[in-house]
Structure formats: structure tokens, C-alpha cells
């Protein structure tokens, strides 16, 4: 009875920030579960690499340029996009610095990508679903830094905390239209963005504060992702799922 519980056969999934890291991993996991994908990011050449891997799994892949920090870019991408069933807001960036040390440009870059981008993609996905009277499913990739705080990350922590509240707001407003919205809050995973930092003294110290005493492996995001993307989570909306090795439970 559970063989097809996490199946995505017949579904098409949009993934933002799909050129590397979580996004590229998600594309292959979803394709393996039977989904076709729409891959969106600024680096189109990197998207083509991911698309090739998806097609090797026997699934369709559409590549679209999209800068989520630009409302116009998101709107243009949706005008060329096939119908989707699930949208994963994965695109994100970070800038490190104290509140009085960051430039306005740094603040705006993070907030526009990590928060406004989630809103823009959600907006146009919801419009598509409501126009066609179809159900929809949004998955926002937030962070445990939206639930706890880390040093010298003010725009990132503020944006991720806002994404968590936006997730709940969308869940409340659109449940009546059979549109769901949930969020995953990853802890520390080794990606191309943070791999060098994790080898520093500060990074090693951070890992020691994780109760499991290690970073997460990409494959450990696959289960939560498939649950939320599939009908296995049909009665879930507004849920915030931490995947963090118990980091949020660490002692103060």
C-alpha cells in the first residue's frame, strides 16, 4: 500500500536555484520519483548540466533563466513556463557582516533573493493554479537560522524567519483553493557555498555544536522533500520541518 506513497508520476515541479547545491540534488531526486522538472536560475549553463542528468533518468527537463530577486524576471519566466504542480523556492544567497558593517547593497541583495524572490515565485505559481482551477503545492527552503540566530547574519536570519511566517500566511490564505505551502529548515549541509568555511576553526566548532556531531548529507534531504512534494503530505500545510541533526535542540 505504500509503494506509490511518494510517487510524483504525472507531476511537473519547478525548482529555483537549480544550478547547484540543494536545487541540483532536488532535481535528480524528483526525477527519480517520476516527476518532470522546470529548472530555473541565473546560470543557465549550469542548469543545462542538471537537465542532462534529469533526462538521463528518463524524465523531461525545461530550462528557464530566472533571477528571483527581479519581479520582472520571475514574471517573464512564468510567461514561458509550462503548467506546474509543485514549486520549490530554493534560490538563496548570503552576506556575512554585522548590522552596522553591511552595505545597503548587501542587505538588499539578500532580502531581495531570499524573501522577495520567494514571494514573487509563489505569487505567479498561485496565479497559474487559480487561473486553471487546479491544486498547487509550494515548498519553501528556509533554514534553522529562521528559528534560531547565528552571529553576523542579520539579513539572512531576518529573511529566513520571514519566509517561515510567509509560509504560514500562504497556507492560511489559500487552503480553500487546495493550494498547500510548507517549509523545510535545513541545518548545516556541506555544499559548494560553505565547504571551505566548514574546514575552518569556526566551522569545525559549529559542527561540534550539532548533537549528531556532523553535517547533513544531501541524501538526508530527499525524504522530507519527497514527502512534501507528493500526496503523502496531502493534509499538511503551514508545516515547518527541521532537518538539522537535532541542532535546534542543542543546549543553551
The catalytic site residues sit at 156
CA distance 226 to 239: 14
Is residue 57 packed enough to be buried (19+ CB in 10 Å), middle (13-18) or exposed (0-12)? Answer: middle
Q: Which of the 8 DSSP states describes residue 24?
A: H
- DSSP 3-state of 189: strand
Q: Which three cell numbers stand for residue 10?
A: 504525472
Count Cβ atoms below 10 Å from residue 69 Cβ, excluding itself: 21
Long-range CB pairs of 69-73, under 8 A, 24+ apart, other chains included: 69/109, 69/112, 69/113, 69/116, 69/117, 71/116, 71/120
Amino acid at each position: 500500500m505504500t509503494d506509490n506513497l511518494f510517487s510524483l508520476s504525472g507531476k511537473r515541479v519547478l525548482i529555483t536555484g537549480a544550478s547547484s547545491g540543494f536545487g541540483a540534488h532536488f532535481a535528480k531526486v524528483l526525477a527519480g520519483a517520476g516527476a518532470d522538472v522546470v529548472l530555473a536560475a541565473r546560470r543557465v549553463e549550469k542548469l543545462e548540466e542538471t537537465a542532462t542528468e534529469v533526462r538521463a533518468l528518463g524524465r523531461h527537463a525545461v530550462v528557464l533563466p530566472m533571477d528571483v530577486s527581479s519581479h520582472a524576471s520571475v514574471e517573464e519566466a512564468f510567461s514561458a513556463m509550462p503548467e506546474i504542480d509543485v514549486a520549490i523556492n530554493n534560490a538563496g544567497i548570503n552576506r556575512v557582516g554585522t548590522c552596522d558593517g553591511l552595505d545597503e547593497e548587501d542587505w538588499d541583495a539578500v532580502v531581495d533573493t531570499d524573501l522577495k524572490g520567494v514571494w514573487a515565485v509563489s505569487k505567479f505559481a498561485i496565479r497559474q493554479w487559480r487561473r486553471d482551477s487546479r491544486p498547487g503545492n509550494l515548498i519553501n527552503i528556509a533554514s534553522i537560522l529562521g528559528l534560531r540566530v547565528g552571529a553576523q547574519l542579520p539579513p539572512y536570519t531576518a529573511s529566513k524567519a520571514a519566509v517561515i511566517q510567509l509560509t504560514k500566511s500562504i497556507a492560511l490564505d489559500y487552503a480553500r483553493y487546495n493550494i498547500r505551502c510548507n517549509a523545510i529548515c535545513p541545518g548545516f549541509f556541506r555544499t559548494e557555498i560553505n565547504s571551505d568555511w566548514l574546514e575552518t576553526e569556526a566551522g569545525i566548532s559549529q559542527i561540534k555544536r550539532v548533537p549528531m556531531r556532523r553535517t547533513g548529507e544531501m541524501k538526508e534531504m530527499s525524504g522530507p522533500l519527497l514527502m512534501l512534494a507528493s500526496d503523502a503530505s496531502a493534509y499538511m500545510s503551514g508545516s515547518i520541518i527541521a532537518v538539522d541533526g537535532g541542532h535546534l535542540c542543542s543546549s543553551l
